[in-house]
Amino acid sequence: MSLFNTMNISASGLTAQRLRLDIISENIANINTTRTLNGGPYRRKDVVLAARTGNAFDNFFKNSLVRINQQKGVKAVKIVEDPSPFIEVYNPSHPDADENGIVKMPNVEIVQEMVNMISASRAYEANITALNNTKSMALKALEIGR
């Protein structure tokens, strides 16, 4: 694996985890949003990640020493909405309450979002560490050439 492929893998991980953190922060920011443009409460979102694979001929060259433009790492495939039911709260004074005083709140749980945030930030830190280690190996290799 070349030095730049290693950096590309770390960079793809950094990009994916940054997107995860953006979506988590959006979920936390909308934890009390009962009206959206779609007409209902905010629905929790999540990022679907998948492995980035090489080109179509990658399998042909799998056992070969020659690698052609491999794109490894991770990528965000899509952002999906969580289909779990909304949280129902009794609050008859709320402007969005129905005739029984029930308000449908977003299906966002702060504990779940905080756990996801810690997981994404740790994965981000791991990618930074891998990138820094790759950089230090390259610098050591340049020092040997002096």
How many other C-beta atoms are found inside a 10 Å radius of the C-beta of residue 125? 12
Distance CA 49, CA 21 (A): 13
Looking at residue 138, what is its pLDDT?
Answer: 87
Which pLDDT does position 54 carry in this prediction? 60
- Residue 97 near residue 109 (C-beta atoms within 8 A): no
CA 60 to chain CA centroid, nearest Å:
31
Q: Are 12 and 75 in contact (CB under 8 A)?
A: yes
CA end-to-end distance (rounded Å), the chain: 24
- In the chain, where the domains are located: 3-31+45-81+108-144
Mean pLDDT of 112-139: 94
Mean pLDDT of the chain: 87
Amino acid identity of 145?
G
Q: How confident is the model at residue 2 (pLDDT cuts 50, 70, 90)?
A: confident
pLDDT tens digits, 61-109: 554 444 445 568 899 999 999 999 999 999 999 999 999 999 999 999 9
**129-143 pLDDT, tens digit each:** 999 999 998 888 888
The torsion of the CA quartet 43, 78, 120, 25, rounded to 10 degrees, works out to: -40
pLDDT at 44 over 90: yes
Q: pLDDT-based confidence at 58, cuts 50/70/90?
A: low
